[in-house]
Structure 1
């Protein structure tokens, strides 16, 4: 919260709301008598020394009445927001509880309500419920509900296919329990954040209803009612609308700004708000590796549910490909995300050193960091379909990189895109720049993504399982292209894969990860001499031409521990045939031979 309030919008919004809440508490006792005092001699007067913002039709002080009206205005807005939030969440959750046809009918109804103007819906509901404060609150609450219902349904649909929900359904867990236990807790944050903005909308809507005569009725009054009473005299004494109009504007602005700031912070754009803490890491004092394009020391990534990356140290030199290999869930992709500053909220990243091209990334300002990463780092992701925008032509997407980072003209950027596509062995690149991603095959899209990374002059290429979704012949083409690019440009590359055979054939060195840690690092040519039981098990599980087909394929028993369940000792001990009592203490990564480090008590 302290970091959030350091942003100008967050601080201003919080200050405005704090003032409004304070006025709601102290307003009636302090200014109640002045607000109720009738003075026939002061009817409809403008601003004066006795009445700073004028008087109403009964000579009552308008500033005092505005301050007193704060309590009722905020109270009604709070009730309307509660009605809209609760009703909208329940309506949006119904499709998850009802059978298919009924659920689709609810979704269709929500879509219709969202398309209907909110104020007209509020006015219609107020007429049905009865004019007055109660009808206005009900109307505004009903008008807010469709937006919350749409948001709830969208968020619920985004997590409905998660493995834990599928497993719960297979186990026969009732739908309402799946909703309350598995879905709603995982989508609660954006719903809560949206409530602040809804409070501002409710306040403005209620004021509009009262101004139109459909809200609070005399003798009660809120800000909208005060505007209604003063409007007939605004041309003679304009000051009579200043107090209630300013109150409505400032309160609405405060809630909107606070809601926007919370939403931006939750999306990761407003600073490290709400992120989980990671252990403090002392900065490294030793000299950096001279020819390293990437040097990472003691990298840790933590989430509220666990720590998927634990004190990982990596070095990638010029013209070198470092392979990062391990089972799914070992922390490979999260390591790459931390290097590219792509760890999603609420993850937290810490390191003793993070040097890219000799520059400490952690010490840069945000704009400087973006400039360095944009120019020196190229990311190649597993699924090229998600890396390329399906609505834009391939050439335009490649050209955008050169335009934004290098200031190239459109013509220069397009010519460079054609040249880069040709470099990755795509036939007729001048035609491909005019095509959409869906018109290319999977291997062509993956090479186009590599070409996109080469639009600048990257010094480091991070390829996160770029061959996983491709058949073996296309895999070979992509691997060959990546090797040629590294040899031609002398860039370094971090190649991430779960396939140790591909890594062994492509890379110069290999780092093996298990449960968030590097357990062995060795030259790719020395994989046959791997010393960690996990590395040997990975190699042993690969079938070869000499594999005895009459026997079952070799497998690794058990499963990798989840990030939140990693033991203090050796994480592989429960699956290891060589485990002893010493494995209760975690072994350090120790160099056993030149360029060959192992974290295992039984490495010999």
Structure 2
């Protein structure tokens, strides 16, 4: 939910005070000046005077009194039209993002078509169909403004829906409606509030315009637009008759803008704190799956992740993670590391799909629809960027304890005590205070520690860490790695650790999987990695490109020439062939075999086969 700051901006205070005064006038005016507004006199079209500050109209009625009395109907119609526009637009925009991909695409195109027509033209069309009158004008303006809300909501929801905290909510099995109300709408409230203020001002102007041309409020009722219409007839003899409603429309619109900007600033906890501080190809043949260890916790066999057009991003990955083991997955960006991990966690983007001969966590079959409670409590996820791991609009306490309370049915007080213990275990200072803070109030290192505490709070069997140290400085990075090692040793939690840094992998993991172009090209023990006993040319190239403190001064690390192939252009054989210094003539056409090594691992490389390699270039 939105939490307002205690000291709103000056613009918000001025806007609220001004609109409150206008609203009070709208409530009281018919009671106080209603008789004067309707009294017919013989003083027709009199100019401004002490008796009539804005003069009189063609029937001798006091213009000021009529302007004040018209306030109630004008504000009521404007509020109703704004409510219709916001409800229809936000409802359509959010419905698009909780629906399936096909409905979403159709909905987005429909919104684009609606937005392409000016709001005034749509309002005129609707008003012409429904006929003249205040009710028709309200519906017309409300419908005309709704596409703006729909487009803004859909665009903002698209950006928020891809964040880590929304993916975590999906992992926990949070229903789409709750994701909408808890994670999407609160994080897009700021621009929607601004649009609401703009809509209020625009609706006021549009309704007044429809009344001005005779399609809005009909006699004997009148609003500011109708008064402006009659006032322009005598603008040269009595300008006050048009000046009154014109000033009322302008002032109310400006005050609405002040309120919208002020609410937006106050609703955003990050800006509010800053303000307070300022004031203060063809798939390769499937490789035989390695023997599954008896103590395997996670088993992945022939995992394939593909786009809707069939292009494979991950092509036939097989491995296992033992209980209490840390398995590192290393490779360049785009090698398929994160997609492999997210396929295990069932958090793949909607546009890709995964298949596997086997994908299970202990007795939990991950290829079948799994109970959200088991997924949310048996698999923990630590994301790459701590700044997007938490919902910025919610306090830390509710987010850290959400899975525990929802799926373990733990009470609020008990969940909070457990969260304090978990934060203490990962060495977060003042844990009780941190639970009451927003994510932006924590440093990057503290946010990442809090994410680790949240991930292990349900005592998961498997912890997936997707490049959890990339966004941190070196000192904090070492602390986070030490925490993960401590959790593994203390609780026996198995981990799948994703990184592009082979040095980090060597420092933390027990076993290493080297990925390139969507496939595992080598598996080896971390001891062999540290001693440089790697066999695949790609792994050796990664090691050579790792910066070292030892060696000749000023000598830069080696680089891996070339670039990985695009997923749709990978060769049927070895994808590393074009960059490999040991390439053989048949490397690009034949899938490399898995050649076992003495340390119990293997490497997929033609050059490692025991037969002579006279054909090498």
TM range (shorter): 0.5 to 0.7
Q: Give the C-alpha shift of residue 567 in structure 1.
A: 1.1
For residues 47-78 of structure 1, give each alpha carbon's deviation from its aligned partner in whole angstroms, at most 9, with x where no partner exists.
Answer: xxxxxxxxxxxxxxxxxxxxxxxxxxxxxxxx
SS in 2 for 1:479: helix
Q: Give the C-alpha shift of residue 348 in structure 1.
A: 1.4
Q: Does the 8 Å CA contact 2:126/2:140 hold for their aligned counterparts? A: no
Residue 489 (structure 1) aligned with residue 491 (structure 2): yes
Q: Does the 8 Å CA contact 1:289/1:295 hold for their aligned counterparts? A: no
What is residue 124 of structure 1 aligned with on the other side? Answer: 127
What is residue 582 of structure 1 aligned with on the other side? Answer: 586
Q: Give the C-alpha shift of residue 602 in structure 1.
A: 1.4
Q: Does the 8 Å CA contact 1:321/1:492 hold for their aligned counterparts? A: yes
Q: Give the C-alpha shift of residue 437 in structure 1.
A: 1.0
Higher-Rg structure is 2
Which of 399, 402, 411 is matched with 2:401 structurally?
A: 399
TM-score, normalised to structure 1's length?
Answer: 0.56
What is residue 229 of structure 1 aligned with on the other side? Answer: none
Which of 566, 574, 583 is matched with 1:562 structurally?
A: 566
For residues 290-318 of structure 1, give each alpha carbon's deviation from its aligned partner in whole angstroms, at most 9, with x where no partner exists.
Answer: 32221111000100352111111121111
Change (3 A) 1:121 1:336: farther
Query: In structure 1, how many angstroms separate the alpha carbons of the residues matched to 2:508 and 2:108?
Result: 55
What is residue 427 of structure 2 aligned with on the other side? Answer: 425
Query: In structure 1, how many angstroms separate the alpha carbons of the residues matched to 2:390 and 2:375?
Result: 19
What is residue 548 of structure 2 aligned with on the other side? Answer: 544
Query: In structure 2, how many angstroms separate the alpha carbons of the residues matched to 1:85 and 1:144?
Result: 17
Decide which moves more: 492-501 or 419-428. Answer: 419-428
Change (3 A) 1:88 1:348: closer
Query: In structure 1, how many angstroms separate the alpha carbons of the residues matched to 2:579 and 2:284?
Result: 31
What is residue 293 of structure 2 aligned with on the other side? Answer: 289
Query: In structure 2, how many angstroms separate the alpha carbons of the residues matched to 1:475 and 1:86?
Result: 44
Q: Give the C-alpha shift of residue 345 in structure 1.
A: 1.4
Which of 461, 465, 468 is matched with 1:466 structurally?
A: 468
Which of 444, 459, 464 is matched with 1:442 structurally?
A: 444
SS in 2 for 1:553: coil
Change (3 A) 1:121 1:414: farther
Query: In structure 2, how many angstroms separate the alpha carbons of the residues matched to 1:152 and 1:434?
Result: 34
Q: Does the 8 Å CA contact 2:380/2:462 hold for their aligned counterparts? A: yes
Query: In structure 2, how many angstroms separate the alpha carbons of the residues matched to 1:562 and 1:159?
Result: 26
Change (3 A) 1:121 1:521: farther
Q: Give the C-alpha shift of residue 150 in structure 1.
A: 5.3
Which of 510, 531, 536 is matched with 2:535 structurally?
A: 531
Q: Give the C-alpha shift of residue 468 in structure 1.
A: 0.4
Which of 329, 336, 352 is matched with 1:331 structurally?
A: 336
What is residue 577 of structure 2 aligned with on the other side? Answer: 573
Q: Does the 8 Å CA contact 2:290/2:319 hold for their aligned counterparts? A: no
Q: Give the C-alpha shift of residue 517 in structure 1.
A: 0.3
Change (3 A) 1:149 1:318: same
Query: In structure 1, how many angstroms separate the alpha carbons of the residues matched to 2:473 and 2:379?
Result: 27
Change (3 A) 1:545 1:286: closer
Query: In structure 1, how many angstroms separate the alpha carbons of the residues matched to 2:518 and 2:563?
Result: 14
Query: In structure 2, how many angstroms separate the alpha carbons of the residues matched to 1:517 and 1:322?
Result: 16
For residues 153-200 of structure 1, give each alpha carbon's deviation from its aligned partner in whole angstroms, at most 9, with x where no partner exists.
Answer: 67678999xxxxxxxxxxxxxxxxxxxxxxxxxxxxxxxxxxxxxxxx
Q: Does the 8 Å CA contact 2:326/2:510 hold for their aligned counterparts? A: yes
Decide which moves more: 379-388 or 510-519. Answer: 379-388
Query: In structure 1, how many angstroms separate the alpha carbons of the residues matched to 2:535 and 2:289?
Result: 30
For residues 66-98 of structure 1, give each alpha carbon's deviation from its aligned partner in whole angstroms, at most 9, with x where no partner exists.
Answer: xxxxxxxxxxxxxxxxxx99896367579xxxx
Unpaired stretches in structure 1, ≥5 consecutive residues: 1-83, 95-108, 161-213, 215-277
Residue 453 (structure 1) aligned with residue 435 (structure 2): no
Q: Give the C-alpha shift of residue 565 in structure 1.
A: 1.5
Superposition RMSD in Å? 3.6
Residue 89 (structure 1) aligned with residue 112 (structure 2): yes
Q: Give the C-alpha shift of residue 532 in structure 1.
A: 0.7
What is residue 352 of structure 2 aligned with on the other side? Answer: 347
Change (3 A) 1:521 1:288: closer
What is residue 303 of structure 2 aligned with on the other side? Answer: 299
Q: Give the C-alpha shift of residue 346 in structure 1.
A: 2.4
Q: Give the C-alpha shift of residue 548 in structure 1.
A: 3.1
Q: Does the 8 Å CA contact 1:88/1:146 hold for their aligned counterparts? A: no
Change (3 A) 1:142 1:89: farther
Query: In structure 1, how many angstroms separate the alpha carbons of the residues matched to 2:109 and 2:539?
Result: 53
SS in 2 for 1:385: coil
Q: Give the C-alpha shift of residue 455 in structure 1.
A: 1.3
SS in 2 for 1:384: coil
SS in 1 for 2:583: coil
For residues 16-64 of structure 1, give each alpha carbon's deviation from its aligned partner in whole angstroms, at most 9, with x where no partner exists.
Answer: xxxxxxxxxxxxxxxxxxxxxxxxxxxxxxxxxxxxxxxxxxxxxxxxx
SS in 2 for 1:346: coil
Unpaired stretches in structure 2, ≥5 consecutive residues: 1-106, 160-214, 216-281, 610-617
